[in-house]
Amino acid sequence: MSAQYVKSPEAIARLTRQQRRVTQDDKTEPAFQNEFWDKKDAGLYVDVVSGEPLFASTDKYDSRSGWPSFTVPIDPENIVIKTDKAFGMVRTEVRSAHGDGHLGHVFDDGPVEAGGLRYCINSASLRFVAEADLEKEGYGDYRGLFTTSTPTASTSTEEISR
């Protein structure tokens, strides 16, 4: 893609208190009390700071953890993995490559048939781009990730009639 994904002072200034707390201060939002933990709509989850595409709804599943969980990132180059030794334990932190924001952690207790990983991600680190808005938002190159066989709640009447 030709898009440039960067962390800018303007993007940081637009963050809500919770988004700043999670992405810039490496905190975690409460389980089951976040925007995307149970979202089922088709679309992309992009970095709230840089806009880089991180995860697709096609790789999202209900891990029963209370946070959005994904089996794989869209492009591994947009993800940075770091060792996190906070709180007296060793975990694997997930950060966005271009936005350098804390996203969450990756664990090895995901669905075996999908590779066995669970990317447990904070909603506050993400912005959702609905499948119907991919072109308008500049993510049209990712349309191929989605196959719409039946209309969803986010599918417009215009799209159905095409």
Task: For residue 127, give the nearest of 31, 14, 28, 2 by alpha carbon.
Answer: 14
Q: Considering the domain boundaries, does residue 76 fall inside one?
A: yes
Q: Considering the domain boundaries, does residue 138 fall inside one?
A: no
Q: Give the CA diameter of the chain.
A: 56
Residues with catalytic annotation?
120
Cα separation, 123 vs 151, whole angstroms? 25
Plot region of 51 (φ>0 → left; ψ -120 to 50 → alpha; else → beta) = left
The predicted pLDDT at position 4 comes to: 82
pTM of the model: 0.86
Looking at the 3D structure of the chain, how many domains does it have?
A: 1
Q: Considering the domain boundaries, does residue 160 fall inside one?
A: no
Q: Considering the domain boundaries, does residue 15 fall inside one?
A: yes
Q: Considering the domain boundaries, does residue 67 fall inside one?
A: yes
Q: What CATH number does residue 18 fall under?
A: 2.170.150.20
Q: Considering the domain boundaries, does residue 159 fall inside one?
A: no
pLDDT in tens, the chain (162 residues): 446 899 999 999 999 999 999 999 999 999 999 999 999 999 999 999 999 999 999 999 999 999 999 999 999 999 999 988 877 888 899 999 999 999 999 999 999 999 999 999 999 999 999 999 999 999 999 999 997 654 444 444 344 333
Q: Which domain does 88 fall in, by range?
A: 9-133
Q: Considering the domain boundaries, does residue 118 fall inside one?
A: yes
Cα separation, 41 vs 58, whole angstroms? 9
98 contacts 121 by C-beta, under 8 angstroms: no
Distances (CA, A) of 3 to 6, 87, 145: 10, 37, 18
Q: Considering the domain boundaries, does residue 155 fall inside one?
A: no
125 contacts 46 by C-beta, under 8 angstroms: no
- Which CB contacts under 8 angstroms, 24+ apart, belong to 81-87? 81/106, 86/26
